[in-house]
Structure 1
Amino acid sequence: MCRLVYRSKQRGFLELDLVLGSWVEQHAHSMDEANIRALLQVLDLDCLIPQENPDLWKWLTSQEQPPEDLNSNPVFAAIKSKVTDNLTKHASPETRSTPGQPWVRGWDDIKKGKDGPKYGNQ
C-alpha cells in the first residue's frame, strides 16, 4: 500500500499530486483487489501515454473527455467525482469554464491585452 500512496503523490504535477495522493491515501487500505488493479491502471498511464499527467488532470477536471476505457474505470470515476464535488463546493461559478473547455490561466492574463479577462480564471 505504501508504494501505491507514494506513486500517487509523486506524479510530477502538483495539483495531481495533491488530489490523487490524498484520495489514494484515504482509500487504499480499504480497496479490494479489483479496485487496486483499477488504481494501477490509472497510475500506469504515464507508461502508456506521453505527457499523461496534464491529460489526466484535464480528464479529472472535465476540461477534456477521458478515453472510454478510463471512463469506465471505477477508481478514476470515484476520483473524478471527488474533484467535481470539490470544484462545485469551493469554486465560484464565474471562475469556472464550461465542461469540455480548457481553463483560462489567471497569472498571464495581462499578456492577453485589454480584451482578456480582468482577473483570475474567467
Structure 2
Amino acid sequence: MRARLVYQSRKRGTLESDLLLSTFAREWLGGMEEAELREYDKLLDEPDWDIYYWATKKRAPPERWANSSVLEKLVVHARNEGKAVRRMPDLN
C-alpha cells in the first residue's frame, strides 16, 4: 500500500501537486498507521488543485476533510517552516 501511495503522490499531473505530495509521502508515510494510510489514500482521490489549495490554506477544505489528521500533517509540510529546498524524490 505504501509503495502505491508513494507512486500516486508522485504522478499527480501538476508539478505543484507532484512536488508537494511526493515530498510529503517521502517524509510522512513511513510513520503512518494503517488508518492514516487509508485516509491519505482517500485524500489522493480528490482533484490536485483542491488538495494543493487546502494544504496551502488558500481555500478551506470541505467538511469531510475539516478534521483530518492527514490533511493537517500536509498543511504543516506545505508551510515548510524549516525552509528546506525541496525537489522530487528519487525513484527507488
Q: TM-score range by the shorter chain?
A: 0.7 to 0.9
- 1:29 shift after superposition: 2.2
Q: What is the aligned partner in structure 2 of residue 66 from structure 1?
A: 61
- Whether 1:80 aligns to 2:84 is no
TM (norm. structure 1) is 0.61
Q: What is the aligned partner in structure 2 of residue 99 from structure 1?
A: none
Bigger Cα Rg: 1
Structure 2 CA distance, aligned partners of 1:29 and 1:81? Answer: 17
Structure 1 CA distance, aligned partners of 2:15 and 2:5? Answer: 17
Unaligned runs of 5+ in 1: 46-51, 91-122
For the aligned residues, what is the CA RMSD? 1.5
Unaligned runs of 5+ in 2: 84-92
TM (norm. structure 2) is 0.78
Moved runs in structure 1, 4+ residues, more than 2 A? none
Number of aligned residue pairs: give it: 82
Work out the percentage of aligned pairs sharing the same amino acid. Answer: 32
The structure, 1 or 2, with the larger RCO (C-alpha pairs under 8 Å, 6+ apart) is 2
